[in-house]
Chains A and B, each alone.
Chain A
Amino acid sequence: SQQGEEDPQALSIQEGENATMNCSYKTSINNLQWYRQNSGRGLVHLILIRSNEREKHSGRLRVTLDTSKKSSSLLITASRAADTASYFCATEGNTGKLIFGQGTTLQVKP
């Protein structure tokens, strides 16, 4: 079964607004990663956050991790039309495998 589950499944916002996507998982993890996938393309790595970290930033991206709630969030600030894509969280636990969620589809309207 999938480890990570993203919420919402789909999100539509206006350019300039912030977008928040959430990821919940079931078992303990070593790290959690966020990826972006543009239509018809491969996945692109965004941020990796380890289990002993609570927050990480990369440009307009902010990722938080709450291991007590087994959840993570990805915030994209000042969104642009080019941010339109699907966003996946992936968890790495004791299996040594990266398990991907079903993804959140983000549409940013110009």
Chain B
Amino acid sequence: DAGVIQSPRHEVTEMGQEVTLRCKPISGHNSLFWYRQTMMRGLELLIYFNNNVPIDDSGMPEDRFSAKMPNASFSTLKIQPSEPRDSAVYFCASSLAGTDYEQYFGPGTRLTVT
């Protein structure tokens, strides 16, 4: 299995631009998680999906952030408009079923907003 796939691996954009991060979970996993990691705040859960349905988006910082999971093999995290404080590493993870199972993390997308 290829593991969790994220793209792009690095993204540099200017403030105000739209950014779209992509994730392909492990086949057969029913849960997908988006995290953000910064030095100041550590690893934060932004949103997670069960069977393509958003279960908890309380970690999404503000309305500029949105996430979708149109099918079991694809999810996007969009930031519009982006701001310098959004600079971070964004991880996608998947698990068999929710948080009662280990999560498999992708390599992350390092986002820099200038």
Q: Is the CB of A42 within 8 A of B107?
A: yes
Task: Write out, one digit per residue, whether chain A residues 41-53 have a CB within 8 A of any chain B CB (1) or not (0).
Answer: 1111100100000
B25 at the interface (CB under 8 A from A): no
Which residues in window 51-94 of A have CB below 8 A to B? 88, 92
Q: Is the CB of B105 within 8 A of A44?
A: yes
**Chain B residues whose CB sits within 8 angstroms of the CB of A92 once the complex forms:** 99-100
- Interface footprint category on A: 20 to 34
**Chain B residues whose CB sits within 8 angstroms of the CB of A103 once the complex forms:** 42
The residue that B108 contacts in the complex, of A2, A30, A42, A99, with Cβ under 8 A, is A42
**Chain A residues whose CB sits within 8 angstroms of the CB of B99 once the complex forms:** 30-31, 92, 96-98
- Taking beta carbons and an 8 Å cutoff, which residues of A are in contact with B? 2, 30-31, 33, 35, 41-45, 48, 88, 92, 95-103
- Taking beta carbons and an 8 Å cutoff, which residues of B are in contact with A? 4, 33, 42-43, 45, 48, 55-56, 59, 91, 93, 98-108
